[in-house]
Amino acid sequence: MLVRHSLQLALQTAILAVAFAAAGHAENATPALSAQDLQAKIEYCQRCHQPSGQGIRAASPIPRLAGQQVEYFENQLRAFIEHRRLHSVMENVAHNLSPAMQQAIAEHFRDLNPKPVGGAPKELVAGGKQIYEEGVPDANIPPCASCHGPEAKGNGAFPRLAGQLDEYIQSKLLNWSNERGQDREKPDTSAIMQPIAHTLTKAQVAALAAYLNYLE
């Protein structure tokens, strides 16, 4: 009887332990996103980045998000949150997004594919294409295609550049160190671009941006 009682007690204790563990897990679990909450956040993003995520030319160009790599998208939101990348508006926006919401928004824009806004100087496209495909050997700049892909659609942590506003690309490359890599103890893949951005001339940046602006 004593052995049987001990076994019953042990079994009851095990059941209670499992029950409490399950309850604790449920309390700590990330709540599921509602379709309504996701749609509200997407609509908020669309106010600046436009309904199809194509971006817009403005006093400060607002970038294309459509077709962007999810990993890169999420990395940049975290960079804003951690102040590794500086932008007063996006820092506030990113702070209000849970990791699950960040992923859901990134996946939404990844699946969009509007036509590029265009408008870059077409006479610069040929020179930009050469830089993208061949790099600048004399300045030890590798081909952009080696990371961003032959069609500039990116890969994982390397962003899509195809269809991006030329003014936005120029602004980012010419101001790289003022916005990116602000925490040297937490470098990410964008650190690869720092020496490249510093070495490219303004004319080369303009040509490269013009070429990328028209890619679909």
Position with higher pLDDT, 186 vs 67: 67
Which residues lie below 8 Å from residue 199, measured CB to CB, with a gap of 6+?
Answer: 136, 139, 140, 141
pLDDT value of position 15: 36
Q: What is the pLDDT of residue 185?
A: 78
**The residue to which tokens 């749609």 are assigned:** 39
Global pTM value: 0.83
84 φψ region: left (φ > 0), alpha (ψ -120 to 50), beta (else): alpha
Which whole number is the average pLDDT over 4-26? 40
- Asked whether the predicted pLDDT for residue 30 surpasses 90, the reply is no
For residues 27-46, give the mean pLDDT: 83
Whether the per-residue pLDDT at 200 is higher than 70: the answer is: yes
**What are the pLDDT digits (tens) for 167-198?**
999 999 999 988 888 877 777 788 899 999 99
Contact 215, 208 (CB under 8 A): no
Question: Where are any strands of DSSP class E within 29-170?
Answer: none
pLDDT tens digits, one per residue of 104-131: 999 999 999 999 999 999 999 999 999 9
Closest to 211 (Cα-Cα) out of 137, 139, 138, 148: 148
Q: Is 47 a residue whose pLDDT tops 80?
A: yes
pLDDT at 31: 58
User: Minimum mean pLDDT among 76-80, 96-100, 186-190, 200-204: which range?
Assistant: 186-190
Q: How confident is the model at residue 164 (pLDDT cuts 50, 70, 90)?
A: very high
Which domains occur in the chain, in start order?
Answer: 35-110 (1.10.760.10), 122-214 (1.10.760.10)
DSSP state at residue 210: H
Q: Which amino acid belongs to residue 139?
A: A
DSSP class per residue in 1-14: -HHHHHHHHHHHHH
Mean pLDDT, range 14-19, rounded to an integer:
39
Residue 147 has pLDDT above 70, yes or no: yes
| Secondary structure (H, E, C), 59-118 | CCCECCCCCCCHHHHHHHHHHHHCCCCCCHHHHHHHHCCCHHHHHHHHHHHHCCCCCCCC
Instruction: Identify which of 126, 144, 121 has the alpha carbon closest to the alpha carbon of residue 134.
Output: 144
Q: Give yes or no for a contact between 85 and 79, defined as CB atoms under 8 angstroms apart.
A: yes
Name 56's bridge partners: 62
Q: Give dist(CA 45, CA 108) in Å, integer.
A: 11
Distance CA(67)–CA(112), nearest Å, equals: 6
Closest CA to 160 of 113, 99, 108, 207: 113
Give how far the C-alpha of residue 179 lies from the chain's centroid of Cα atoms, to the nearest Å.
15
- Residue whose token pair is 């509007």: 114
Name the nearest CA neighbour of 82 among 188, 203, 183. Answer: 183
| Local structure of 185: helix, strand or coil | coil
